[in-house]
Amino acid sequence: AGETSQQALLGNGVLALTIDQGAQTQRYQGIVQLDGTSLEDAARTYFRQSEQIPTDIKMSVAKLVTPGPGGAREQWRAGGILAQFLPQAPERMRIP
């Protein structure tokens, strides 16, 4: 079977991120176009356009194949990590 590119799988549309920081704050949602070649690129665009603190994100997805008595078992796994400067760090302020 042929592979499909990430961009083809994403198609046209938007990425909506809902930020909920707990009961003492108001939940809000940010929306950006699905520009770029991956979901990771779209998330980076969101953080570049909306956050006051420099942010980077790394996302990955892969198929896990484990052998078993009845044959191989396939499962999908996904994960990510988000890194931001600490609020008190002088480097956190963006330079336009």
The total of structural domains in the chain comes to 1
CATH of the domain at 22: 3.55.30.10
Question: Is residue 1 included in any domain, yes or no?
Answer: no
At residue 2, does pLDDT exceed 80? no
Which H or E element spans position 36? none
Give 20's contacts (C-beta < 8 A, 6+ positions apart). Answer: 27
Question: Is residue 23 included in any domain, yes or no?
Answer: yes
Question: Is residue 15 included in any domain, yes or no?
Answer: yes
Share of the chain above pLDDT 90, in %: 15
Question: Is residue 62 included in any domain, yes or no?
Answer: yes
Question: Is residue 26 included in any domain, yes or no?
Answer: yes
At residue 81, does pLDDT exceed 90? yes
Q: Give the pTM.
A: 0.65
Question: Is residue 33 included in any domain, yes or no?
Answer: yes
Structural domain including 15 reads: 6-92
